[in-house]
Amino acid sequence: MTNLRRILFVGDPGEPRAQAASDLASRMSATLSFLPAGVGSAATGVDRRASGTRGTVATLDPPIPQEVVIRAGKQRADLIVAGPPMPDEVAVRLADETGCPVLVLPESSTRLPRRPNILVGLDDHGDPDAIVGATTRVAQAVGGRLTLVHVVELYSRDLHVQLDAGWRVLASAVRLISPHVSASATVLVGDPAGELLDAAAGSQADIIAIGAPGDVSAGVNSVAAAVLGDAGCPILLVPGEGVA
């Protein structure tokens, strides 16, 4: 049991990313609800089926994030899938305000492969329970594997000490992962956002998972925002994890 039972898609139900969300929900055996952005006349509670997925259509007006926060709470959403282009800081804020993981899909989103690789960025600012728990649930639901990455900044004081600390962070995180999920871990040195993006490209990651900063005012300058701005694959923003 993965506890990913209710997915809320924010965007136009007719766009390609909605189909990607529908495929994901079918794979997870989850209920999918649609909240179209800027549609003023969509009916509420209309049954919709896509790829065998149960779904309902609701209206999002005004745009995110306030109505999404309300709807996610009412529907007890386990995952929000963001379809329309949105500012990076809005996506980060959405994860923080709903307390729900947000999967941001790029315009060219397609169906995930049979065994997707989920790259998980971990820092040393907080408890890894939230991001490891969320990514483990996703991996279990879609048959994926996890690649845990901790990045030590190149100009850190006492670099060797920071490297040792990074491996301790990863060791703690690995202990939280279900034995049914395949996982690997590595420590890298350099710019956090750049190294995560390079690692994702090198490992052909299908999803990059990263914590959404609790201090939303810092979101624009966060590692999460930088990764969102340059990644070409889906990004899973997980609230409850500190990010520099």
In angstroms, the CA 15 to CA 34 distance is 11
> For residue 76, how far is the Cα from the chain centroid?
17
Check: CB of residue 79 under 8 Å from CB of residue 7: yes
In angstroms, the CA 228 to CA 104 distance is 8
In angstroms, the CA 45 to CA 47 distance is 6
In angstroms, the CA 219 to CA 212 distance is 8
Q: What is the pLDDT of residue 77?
A: 92
DSSP reduced 3-state for 116: coil
In angstroms, the CA 83 to CA 65 distance is 13
Q: What is the pLDDT of residue 46?
A: 30
Q: What is the pLDDT of residue 68?
A: 80
Q: What is the pLDDT of residue 84?
A: 66
Query: Could you tell me which CATH class the domain 6-84 is placed in?
Result: alpha beta
Indicate if 117-238 has the same CATH topology as 6-84.
yes
Ranges of the chain whose pLDDT falls below 70? 1-2, 37-65, 84-86, 126-127, 214-221, 241-244
Check: CB of residue 72 under 8 Å from CB of residue 100: yes
Domain ranges of the chain: 6-84, 117-238
pTM, 2 dp: 0.85
Q: What is the pLDDT of residue 191?
A: 93
Q: What is the pLDDT of residue 64?
A: 54
Domain 117-238 belongs in CATH node 3.40.640.10: no
